[in-house]
Amino acid sequence: MPRTIWSGAISFGLVTVPINVVSATEDHSIRFHQYHLEDGGRVRYRKVCELEDREVAQSEIGKGYEWVKGTKSTDEVIIPITDEDLSNLPLPTAKAIEIDAFVPLEDIDPLKIAEGYYLQPSGQVAAKPYKLLVQALGRSAKVAIAKYAWSGRERLGLLRVRGDALVLHAMRWPDEIRDPTELLPPPVEVSEEEIEGALALMDTMTVDALEGEKFTDHYTEAIAQIIEAKREEKPLPAAPEPERPAQVLDLMAALNESVQKARASRGEEAGPAEVHELPKSKKKAAARKQPVKKAAAKKTATKETGGKKTAGRRPRSA
């Protein structure tokens, strides 16, 4: 049973759901220790008081904010902050996960979503409001956006349903997401044929679930093999020769070859890549970009759709 990380309540409107927060994930990474190469002794980090020059126990350590009131080193003042101070913050989210809004999941930029936690109902009194929130979220196909205060700061969170359980995802604040504009490559042209080739490759690589050998942590397995070999004083497993990526001279040829290899790896017969037609709304948008013969382009597009207008897709918000 995972340990409780935090206890409090979910609050939305006048409804309160007492909950315990437990981790929704497990870390299977192999951990290493630092040691002295000469004699094999463990190298540890020790907490030493710089005034007394001695190691101090955890019971002697507290939190504090360093305030510099002048320019001299003697002007530094430590303002102690106790656990009781933090548990009684003048903040509504200090003891509750406050739901502020409900939004469609597709409107959330995945870059803003971080680690996840299960929210466990705390006692029988929480059973009914917990189930109410689960069923309401599930039926609405929306997620809840909330605020909560953990580990010395107020955080933004996303509540969603997984099975019959509530999941809280930590979220990054909007100002924590960097603008990628300066990272973009210089302007280039990509042909429609190349886009179709990429779509065909995506089709051959589409899976129904993230399961199987391809989605296994091979790095941890390789580390375990090395540890086992050294423990039993056996030769280390040979490292495979890495494939050197070929320089792409013909993008279409590379895409077609990738499609054939992907199909062969799945036991499918190799054949020509499927061609995806552009949605008609995109064709009409492309026609509207032409500076000449706007009316003619519009009539042609209307004729292709049988006289019916094709609604453009609403852009997804960032």
Whether 155 is covered by a domain: the verdict is yes
Let me know whether 14 and 133 are in one domain. yes
Cα atoms in the Cβ-side hemisphere of radius 13 Å centred on 237: 12
Let me know whether 136 and 203 are in one domain. no
Please report the DSSP string for 188-233 in residue order: ----HHHHHHHHHHHHHT--SSS-SGGGS-HHHHHHHHHHHHHHTT
Whether 184 is covered by a domain: the verdict is no
Let me know whether 216 and 166 are in one domain. no
Let me know whether 152 and 282 are in one domain. no
Let me know whether 218 and 263 are in one domain. yes
Distance from C-alpha of 113 to C-alpha of 103, rounded to nearest angstrom = 14
Query: Tell me: the pLDDT tens digits for 209-265?
Result: 878 887 888 878 888 888 888 888 888 888 777 666 555 567 778 777 877 877 777
Whether 49 is covered by a domain: the verdict is no
Number of domains in the chain: 2
Which pTM value belongs to this model? Answer: 0.61
Let me know whether 221 and 123 are in one domain. no
Let me know whether 158 and 12 are in one domain. yes
Whether 50 is covered by a domain: the verdict is no
Query: Tell me: the pLDDT tens digits for 44-82?
Result: 888 999 889 999 999 999 988 888 876 666 677 888 888
Beta strand 4-12 pairing with 97-104: parallel
Let me know whether 17 and 157 are in one domain. yes
pLDDT of residue 71: 67
Let me know whether 112 and 151 are in one domain. yes
Mean pLDDT of the chain: 78
Distance from C-alpha of 168 to C-alpha of 189, rounded to nearest angstrom = 42
Can you give the CATH number for the domain in which 171 is found? Answer: 2.40.290.10
Residue 150 in 3-state DSSP?
strand
Let me know whether 202 and 107 are in one domain. no
Q: Which two tokens stand for residue 18?
A: 């007492």
Span 147-172, mean pLDDT?
Answer: 90
Let me know whether 130 and 14 are in one domain. yes
Let me know whether 14 and 98 are in one domain. yes
Span 144-171, mean pLDDT?
Answer: 90
Whether 110 is covered by a domain: the verdict is yes
Q: Is the pLDDT of residue 286 over 80?
A: no
- Enclosing domain of residue 253: 194-239+246-299
Confidence of residue 313 (pLDDT cuts 50, 70, 90): very low
